[in-house]
Homo-oligomer: A and B are copies of this chain.
């Protein structure tokens, strides 16, 4: 017995699979298995070989690079609905990052074989995989732009802008995880992250309360200079 939700039902709601016939989906499901991970658990290590890709059904996962003296650099924070590890499936290379659960999470792992098989049968699926990889690539170019061309304050503002649930004039962002992890994602130390929030607050541009950030004037913040 298990609390297993219906894998096929889950997949059928995801963009990557939602145009598949039941028969196609069934083939995928046959090569999919669930993986329940606890907060802090490592999903795969850097340099592990890849034989499929993962989907976050619920929970939260980070991709990160090990850095000096046990520290890390967070590359991506992934919430429910996102997939990861596709790219390594198509190459003969091991994972260049490791994956760790930020909270208790339910993942699906889809075997490379099923994906390769389906690519051969379904050009639409192939195009979706291409689109997915293209999105990731685009995101990484944005990241490179941010890391190399923008100041720490600009990176933080950019992050808020992406995650904000735009209301009218005032907007709110709920940070999806700890400030330390987000700081790392933005290539900042927690200290600097804290100071920037503090600085923007004292200028009246934002208000911070725990993980909730209120943006007084979106346009003003977007145009912030230094």
B-binding residues in A (CB < 8 A): 65, 67-68, 73, 75, 86-91, 93, 96-97, 116, 119-121, 123, 126-127, 129-131, 133-138, 140-145, 147-149, 187
Nearest residue (CB) in B for A136 is B137
Q: Is the interface of A mostly helix, strand, loop or mixed?
A: helix
A and B contact pairs by CB, cutoff 8 A, 30 listed: A65-B144, A67-B149, A68-B149, A73-B149, A75-B141, A86-B134, A87-B134, A87-B137, A87-B138, A88-B138, A90-B130, A90-B131, A90-B134, A91-B131, A91-B134, A91-B135, A91-B138, A96-B142, A97-B141, A119-B123, A123-B123, A126-B126, A133-B137, A137-B137, A137-B140, A140-B144, A143-B144, A144-B147, A147-B148, A148-B187
* Residue among A90, A97, A136 with max Cβ neighbours from chain B (10 Å): A90
Chain B residues contacting A120 (CB-CB under 8 Å) are 123
Per the bound structure, the CA–CA distance linking A142 and B223 in Å amounts to 31
